[in-house]
Amino acid sequence: MANYSGNREAFLFVYLSEADDAAGRAAVDALEGAGYRLYLAQSFAAKDARALKKAAAAVLLMSSGTLNELSPVVSAAAKEDKPLIPVYLDRVELPAGMRMLLGPKQAHARPDYADDAGFAEALLASPVLRELRVTPAQKKAARGLLIGAVAAAVVIVAAVLLLTLGRAAPAAQITGATLTELGLSGDAGAVERVYLYGALLREGLEENGAQDLNRQTEDGAAGIYLPKQDQTVARGTLRNASDFAQLVNLKELALSGNALEDVSPLWTLTQLERLDLSCNLGPISLEGISALEKLESLNVAYCEISGGLAELERLPGLQTLTISSDYLEQTAALSARGVRVLCPSVKCADWETLQT
């Protein structure tokens, strides 16, 4: 099969590890047989990353033995917001970090089908494959080829400058014990959503946040209640949010049901749109939160807040605030400008008992 990564036709980036070649070759053959242009990668070198950027979509074939190999590919695809079709060649248990990056993608598991024909039919019916288009990256590359001869001198000068100034820094990789223990790895800039409720990393945001600080788990541990899941989970022990500051492109973050005291490192995450800090035993200060100009939703219910709420009035995009009723009188200015203020029933007066 001849790899295609040109600029005239839409094509699929297909990743198939050499270790999975026998198990995944039927899927590759089905795509090629259906007429799709393919770029088949069995490693992820620089040329493969360039092909992924230009591809209309990506088909990622993986098995339980090659998940680690796929991690940088998944991170790069998420960073490019590339349409994905995950294909599981056996029964796999995705690490939490990879589950979060893949999100609710339409996946196909080979063990769910009796034969290759049925599997191929389902794969080819994927909605992602219906409307493949030449990508902006291909168009940009094509324009570059058209003006290449005219701009040769400029390219030479640019090359000299690059050699002088040095190569661009590689993508920052996730570091820190807090994030690695949660199973997050790879490109820090590719992570857009993290949902931590107590000690449990979840795949989605609890729309109404966690509730009821006086809940207990089945084994008697202190817990928080997740009404969307109708589930009580153990409280977490996270006190420091500094590791999360490296996830510079986060749009949604939940650090609920922990013991956070200093949340100021989060104010550097200027892409945040939704932030859930509910049920932290704190107290926490919101001083500096006005730096989050894109923030639309903030949940600080069941939190003791020090320093008042004045900074919330300087959040231009704030639409919804969930906060304990103790602070309701301080939200008048926000309500007056149309911010939706939600108050759960439990008041902060209950905390003395809960924290002793």
Q: What is the pLDDT of residues 263-280, one digit of tens each?
A: 999 999 999 999 999 988
Q: With 70 as the cut, is the pLDDT of residue 324 above it?
A: yes
d(CA 264, CA 291): 10
Percent helix, strand, coil in the chain, to 5, is 35, 20, 45
Query: Lowest-confidence range among 37-41, 133-137, 154-158, 342-346?
Result: 154-158
Pick the more confident residue, 15 or 148: 15
Q: Which of 15, 175, 184 is nearest to 100 (CA)?
A: 184
Q: With 60 as the cut, is the pLDDT of residue 148 above it?
A: no
Q: With 80 as the cut, is the pLDDT of residue 352 above it?
A: no
Confidence band (pLDDT; 50, 70, 90) for 348?
A: very low
- pLDDT tens digit sequence for 5-28: 677 788 999 999 999 999 999 999
d(CA 194, CA 180): 13
Backbone angles phi, psi at 76, to 5 degrees: -65, -40
Q: Which of 91, 35, 21, 27 is nearest to 59 (CA)?
A: 27
Pick the more confident residue, 7 or 29: 29
pTM (predicted TM-score): 0.55
> For 12-134, which CATH class?
alpha beta
Residue 224 CA: distances (Å) to CA of 200, 221, 231, 266, 338:
11, 10, 8, 22, 30
Indicate where the chain has its CATH 3.80.10.10 domain(s). Answer: 177-355
Q: How many CA atoms lie less than 13 Å away from 143 in the CB half-sphere?
A: 6
What pLDDT was estimated at residue 275? 95
Confidence band (pLDDT; 50, 70, 90) for 152?
A: very low
What pLDDT was estimated at residue 106? 72
- pLDDT tens digit sequence for 227-264: 777 888 888 888 888 899 999 999 999 999 888 988 99
Backbone angles phi, psi at 2, to 5 degrees: -85, 125
What pLDDT was estimated at residue 162? 53
| Average pLDDT of the chain, as a whole number | 82
Indicate where the chain has its CATH 3.40.50.10140 domain(s). Answer: 12-134
CATH for 177-355? Answer: 3.80.10.10
Pick the more confident residue, 219 or 337: 337
Alpha-carbon Rg for the chain in angstroms: 24
What pLDDT was estimated at residue 219? 80
